[in-house]
Amino acid sequence: MDNFFTWEMLGTFAGCMAGTMILTEFVKKYLTKIPTQIISFVFAIAILVVGQVVAKTFTWNDILLDVVNAVAVSLSANGGFDAIKGLLGKKQLDAGSLILDGNSSYISFNQTPDVLKDGEEVRMTVKRVEAK
């Protein structure tokens, strides 16, 4: 394969799905207020319509079919990325608890100890803090 993407490739289901997945993952961190599924749907329909315009096969009669196809592509791209993320070993820990006392703090996860390796970095974001 000597080209990354071609308009002919983007016109296929797999090509459109790959393009949608890549573009969605690239911009979703900048559009945090928009659900990822909406972002991927917009990219899917854009790729489908622009691909038809470039290939000179676009007609207004096909726009409803493009919307239906964009839904299928978007759902597949979202599921495909989740599957790839799972295969590559991205770990998601079950909710645990942060325990604070006067001298130290530690995190207790509701997960078996073999999930994390010794020295592995864990990042957390505190969403809401309440005093009890």
29-41 pLDDT per residue, tens: 899 899 889 999 9
The whole-model pTM stands at 0.62
Per residue of the chain (132 residues), what is the pLDDT tens digit?
Answer: 567 888 888 889 999 999 999 999 899 889 989 988 999 999 999 999 999 999 999 999 999 999 999 999 998 888 877 776 666 655 555 555 555 555 655 556 555 555 556 666 666 665 665 655
What are the structural domain ranges in the chain?
7-87
Query: In 3D, which of 44, 41, 35 has the Cα closest to residue 13?
Result: 44
Separation between Cα atoms, residue 42 and residue 32, nearest integer Å: 15
Longest dimension (CA), the chain: 70
As a whole number of Å, the CA-based R_g of the chain is 21
Q: What is the DSSP letter of 110?
A: S
